[in-house]
A and B are shown apart, each in its own frame.
Chain A
Amino acid sequence: MIDMHLPILLIVVPLVSAPLCVLLRQKTLVWAFASLVCVASLGIASMLLIRVLEEGVISYAIGGWIAPWGIEYRVDTINAFVLLLVSIIAAVLMFFALPSVADEISGKQHYLFYTAYLLCFTGLMGIAITGDAFNVFVFLEISSLSSYTLIALGRDRRALTASYQYLIMGTLGATFIVIGIGLMYMMTGTLNMFDLSERLPAMFETRTAMVAFAFLTVGMLIKLAMFPMHMWLPNAYCYAPSLVTAFLAATATKVSIYVFLRFTFTVWGAEFVFEKLKLDAFLIPLSLIGIYVASLSAIYQTNIKRLLAYSSVAQIGYMMLGIGFVSITGLTGGIVHLFNHALMKAALFLSVGCAVLRLGSSDLADWKGLGRRMPVTMAAFVLAGLSLIGVPLTVGFVSKWYLILAALEKGWWPIALLALLSSLLAVIYVWRVVEVAYFQKADDDSNVKEAPLMMQISMWVLTGATLYFGIQTDLTVNVAQRAAGLLLGVTP
């Protein structure tokens, strides 16, 4: 019986728990409760993925109203994968949360923090699970509004402006998306994605369709921080509390990329988007420019969180590059990188979080000699950094392999070469941190302790995952390949 209702439980459980946090109030209690919710969600998400892989698409009609009249939750391979990713990250981060939140956020606001955290989580899961276009917008707003709150809780006063700027850009993006959805509704009279995908082809020749898709494109590209609409991201990541940075970096942009995949491939169809409108002619150059510009910016940053934030923009470039190839291999590369990058960037931000807890700063200059002072934390940073570069035996290599394979499949070897060369830039920006931490002497020799065990658990689980999935790629690549086949409408 409860099996039937897994999709809705995944949303209802965290959604209802969020206000309960406000009632609980007590710091540790709220944390324990939120952790429980996240772990429960992880369980549900794993069960969903297993069921999808065994039985195929699961459709759930909310309140018994059958689609296209009611809201439908529709789980297939690709969003089951995204759901699992988001819930893994949310659950693993809860270990880290207890000491880190206690350090960075004043005690009175803890319950608000966890409320916002659960709401943001709900929103992200909702975006991924729903099969209804307008519902996407609703959950997008839930996740965005709560993430503005989360960012604004940062210690630095600049967190407020960063959050404000994110709010403006996020709202703009969401507005564009809702305009796009509105136009689609106007044309077809339906909001159900599956239904839309059947009715839209009749409208492909109209200007309305093109305008609708233009709004959607820009809206989605803002949300996923595609160059050059990425400028909200570095500050938001830089000034947010450590935990929030790790959470958003690993999930928010990834879910936005999922939305992009869903709208372009499922709702509109690759034929319309890439053959008629030729979006790939935009996507590929923009991705490449974005990779280079953002990587160069990362090289010159003096704050490590900002450095990693720019690196995120560059990595999003890789994902969009893979998607822009519009082939099974390219999409596989993009989707695998989506998962892999979430792991490694979360691991990196967590190790920065550990250092911030002890040093109180993520300025590069303050990290001198950290390799000796916090060897465990720095070891995790280096391992996850190797992943970012794409060294073999790490997840980064798996993604890069598929991206390059996809480029060469198309015969676009200059792009393959550019993508390969760009990893040298990653070498430079990771090396800058390593050089400071290992080859420079600390200014003051005061002893610094390692971060608490709880934080290290989260950090090492994710760092270990970047290595594990670099060697054992069956799960990630198989799922990504099936998802890619699903998106392109071919069964591999």
Chain B
Amino acid sequence: MSEVHPALILLAGGLLLFCLPTTPRRIVSVILPVFGFLNLLTIADGTLWHITWGGYELTVLRADRLSMLFGYLFHLAAFIGAIYALHLKDRLQIGTGLIYAGSAVGAVFAGDLITLFIFWELLAITSVFLVWARGGERALRSGMRYLVMHISSGLLLLLGAVFYYLNTKSLAFDHIGLDKGHHYLIFLSFGIKCAFPLLHNWLIDAYPESTPVGTVFLSAFTTKAAIYALARGFAGEDLLIYIGTIMTIFPIFYAAIENDMRRVLSYSMINQIGFMVVGIGIGGALGINGAVSHAFNDVIFKGLLFMSMGAVLFSSGRINASDLGGLYKSMPWTCACCIIGAASISAIPLFNAFISKSMVMQGVADSGAVTIWLVLLFASAGVLHHAGVKIPFFSFFAHDAGIRCREAPLNMRIAMTISAILCIVIGSYPPLLYNLLPHPVDYVPYTTTHVVLQLQLVFFAVLAFVALMLTSEIDVSLKTRTQRITVGVLLLIGHHPPELPGVNLDSDWIYRRALPRGIRAVVRTGGLIVDRFFAGAKALIQKLIAAIRAQHNNRGLFGRSWLSQSNVLIAIIFLAIYLIYYF
């Protein structure tokens, strides 16, 4: 029986890293997750630790199969991330990275809403430094937007917790459900962290702005902690099925046109989370198992893909598809790992996503929702296209961009190799993961139907990619008449959009472009009156701010020193007011 809270080792150790010189720091950073993991192994299933906080009994540790699985996962991710970060000289990234990992561990072991809230906010505060670590105005602003979203998520959780407490007189974090209106506060809070549609912009916005190492850490924890929270609190809510389905489908279009490779991966991440959310929505043993195991696998293969793209960015200094190509000559090892990651995310049999995603698909099929099932199938094909083929193809093959750089540093290659091996091992030997799942598994992934269906999907998706590529005139060698005819039917679908530099906005377009543009358009068409109205409104707001400033700065009414007589006058006036009021 351990005496140490599982989150404590990473939290305290992460702080310690700030005080250590380079070499010991590197050693400690890799050992810490191992220590944490060993400590985790000593915690028995069903352990509960309580503390009292201001008259409330808080459960700071609740270990059951669900939280233990995420505990293992986060330690694994922290370990791989720490290896990937070994080349770094600065202490900020690895220090905050491990504290961030510790917060995620704390969140999944939280047995009540207050403890959860504390780690929830800690997740936000620590992770934003990973965004800022990149430096520069863009990262700073992006990080600020990220922080605002996540602090709001925390505040919603707090508000929801207060309402929950007032209604049930309990703070325990168990199944919450959506049967009461105020439960939506907590739901929304989890939804922000989980990147629900329209609440997802922070992810697309911030993750690609981070450093190579930062993105690897970021991709592992925040959203997975949210998946855990949803699985704990809202399992079996039908609403989640629809939300999840939308999450799987809309990112694939954006991912297809996106140029920044890490942004493509960010969209792909929302897509994968969508599958997990659907699994949670279906609920039951199969749904939850599918969602949770997919989360586990996603951390590994998405981490692997982010690592490989991070390595590309690190070595070549470029990350846009339009600037990359032909890197397989310079970075063969990274290329191989990336292809394994791509095969995994595409759910090819013998790779890990296959054994988890098919479980979610089976769950949907069992529930009889045919439309949903078909949409998910289409989304799977989309994944294959943008993540399975596009990522490795444009960075390592396609046209040779003439980049001759060094292979990624050894530590990065080791980290990627560990992940790649895990992808294959888990995919080939499912019981390894299945034995850890919260519910007993009687699901068999390797049946003829599953394998054939998935392989068909793979071949058609690759075919579609090739067809689209032909018409986009990037790869000249494939442009023969026969090949064009072979895929003629698919030409109807349209062109594969050429990879062009640029910024793609999705629904944040509404507030970053459409709103200003719309206002401008209205002003233009509405003529002078509307023009004046808007100018007036703008001036009014400016005046308001100026007035607040003027009233509160050193010379303003509230900010300056008052004369003694005015102070006295106010006091007398108030005396009069009270006298009248009391009568």
Residues of A within 8 A of B (CB): 162, 164-165, 168-169, 172-173, 176, 207, 210-211, 213-215, 217-218, 221-222, 228-229, 231-232, 234-235, 277, 282, 293-294, 296-297, 299-302, 310, 391-393, 398, 401-402, 404-405, 408-409, 416, 420, 471, 473-474, 476-478, 481
Contacts and interface: CB of A to CB of B under 8 A. Distances in A.
A234 B582 contact: no
B319 to A, nearest CB: 27
Contacts of B581: 277, 282
Nearest to B53: A473
B447 interface: no
Contact of A296 (B548, B578, B582): B548
Interface string B126-168: 0000000000000000000000000000010011001101100
Contacts of A402: 54
Nearest to A402: B54
B55 A477 contact: yes
Contact of B574 (A213, A221, A393, A420): A221
Contacts, number: 113
Given A164-B564, A214-B578, A478-B55, A300 B162 contact: no
B122 to A, nearest CB: 8
B510 interface: no
Interface in B520-567: 548-549, 551-554, 556, 558-559, 561-562, 564, 566-567
A474 B52 contact: yes
B568 interface: yes
B162 A297 contact: no
B554 A165 contact: no
Given A277-B582, A300-B554, 19 more contacts: A168-B568, A172-B568, A173-B571, A211-B582, A214-B582, A215-B575, A218-B575, A222-B571, A231-B567, A234-B561, A277-B581, A300-B549, A300-B559, A301-B553, A398-B54, A408-B163, A408-B166, A420-B155, A420-B159
Interface string B267-295: 00000000000000000000000000000
B559 A231 contact: no
B503 interface: no
B556 A300 contact: yes
A380 to B, nearest CB: 16
A427 B567 CA distance: 29
B117 interface: yes
B561 A297 contact: no
24 contacts: A164-B564, A165-B567, A168-B568, A169-B564, A211-B579, A211-B582, A214-B579, A221-B574, A229-B570, A231-B566, A231-B567, A235-B561, A277-B581, A282-B578, A293-B552, A293-B558, A297-B559, A300-B554, A301-B559, A302-B554, A401-B54, A404-B158, A404-B159, A474-B52
B121 interface: yes
B54 A168 contact: no
A296 B552 contact: yes
B118 interface: yes
Contacts of A393: 118
A176 B118 contact: no
B583 interface: yes
A481 B567 contact: no
A392 B120 CA distance: 10
A218 B576 CA distance: 10
A477 B54 contact: yes
A254 B82 CA distance: 48
A184 B295 CA distance: 71
A213 B579 CA distance: 9
A403 B578 CA distance: 26
Contacts of A477: 54-55
Nearest to B561: A235
A300 B54 CA distance: 35
- Mostly, the B contact residues are helix
Contact of B552 (A173, A176, A207, A297): A297
A165 B575 CA distance: 19
Interface in B9-60: 52-55
Contacts of A173: 571
Contacts of A213: 582
Contacts of A481: 55
A310 B117 CA distance: 30
- Mostly, the A contact residues are helix
Given A214-B579, A297-B559, A473 B54 contact: yes
B166 A229 contact: no
Contacts of B556: 297, 300
B210 to A, nearest CB: 19
Given A214-B582, A302-B554, A393-B118, A229 B163 contact: no
Contact of B571 (A210, A218, A405): A218
Given A398-B54, A473-B53, A176 B559 contact: no
Nearest to B553: A300
A313 B165 CA distance: 31
Given A207-B583, A234-B561, A235-B561, A474 B568 contact: no
Contacts of A476: 54
Given A296-B552, A393-B118, A172 B571 contact: yes
A215 B575 CA distance: 7
Given A231-B567, A398-B54, A473-B54, A210 B554 contact: no
Nearest to A472: B53
Contacts of A222: 571
A210 B583 contact: yes
Contacts of A301: 553-554, 559
Nearest to B577: A282
A71 to B, nearest CB: 29
A299 B559 CA distance: 10
Nearest to B121: A392
Contacts of B117: 392
B197 to A, nearest CB: 26
Contacts of B165: 405
Contacts of A296: 548, 551-552, 558
Given A296-B558, A391-B121, A398-B54, A404 B162 contact: yes
Contacts of B551: 296
B552 A299 contact: yes
A229 B569 CA distance: 10
Nearest to A218: B575
A301 B583 CA distance: 40
Contacts of A478: 55
A211 B581 CA distance: 11
A416 B155 CA distance: 12
Interface in B100-122: 117-118, 121-122
A406 B177 CA distance: 25
Contacts of B562: 231
A408 B162 contact: yes
Give 6 nearest A-B pairs by CB, closest first: A477-B54, A473-B54, A300-B553, A214-B578, A392-B118, A210-B582
A348 B549 CA distance: 25
Contacts of A401: 54, 162
Contacts of A228: 570, 574
A176 B575 contact: yes
Contact of A169 (B158, B166, B571): B571
A408 B562 CA distance: 37
Contacts of B568: 168-169, 172
A425 to B, nearest CB: 11
In this complex, which of B155, B158, B552, B582 has the most chain A Cβ atoms within 10 angstroms of its Cβ? B582
Contacts of A168: 564, 567-568
Contacts of B125: 391
B395 to A, nearest CB: 35
A404 B122 CA distance: 21
A235 B575 CA distance: 24
